[in-house]
Amino acid sequence: MPLVSRLSSPPMLTGAALILGSLALAAPALADLKLCNTTSSRIGVAIGYQDPTGWTTEGWWNISAQTCETLYKGTLSSRFYYIHAVDYDRGGEWAGKSYMCTGDKSFTIRGVQECGRRGYKSTGFFEVDTQEAKDWTIRLTDPNERGR
């Protein structure tokens, strides 16, 4: 039995309760792309993605060991996201074969062509398939934990 039918309030209040309940149900759920650093090192992270206006790369998020950060807020605009990360404490990186533009300091870069000519680095990113989920979390692990 619906909760509203058990109320002993006047019909006008019951109608208001129904409208408020409908609005609460219609509110969109928040969805984000998060990255969790499960390593024992501080890392720097850059992302690449395609939205309706083209390719964008953004960085750097400085993520402490054993913490998570939101890299992309809101409904995911693409099925595929691209990640490049650098281990600040022990050296090394998480990279891939998809090359996009990055900068040395905090950046947002539109486009992935001619990085060097435009004053940027061409950096290898690895692909993350979110399988069209609305919310996705990436976990970066220490190299010796990758097989677990």
Nearest to 100 by CA among 32, 35, 46, 60: 46
**CA gap 47, 127 in Å, rounded:** 10
pLDDT tens-digit map of 13-25: 333 332 333 333 3
pTM of the predicted structure, to 2 decimals? 0.76
Same domain for 96 and 121, yes or no, is yes
**CA gap 70, 81 in Å, rounded:** 13
Same domain for 23 and 43, yes or no, is no
Same domain for 24 and 43, yes or no, is no
**CA gap 134, 10 in Å, rounded:** 40
pLDDT tens-digit map of 39-66: 999 999 999 999 889 999 999 999 999 9
Same domain for 21 and 74, yes or no, is no
Same domain for 86 and 60, yes or no, is yes
**CA gap 35, 62 in Å, rounded:** 11
- Structure tokens, 51: 């939205």
Range of the domain at 67: 32-142
Same domain for 1 and 43, yes or no, is no
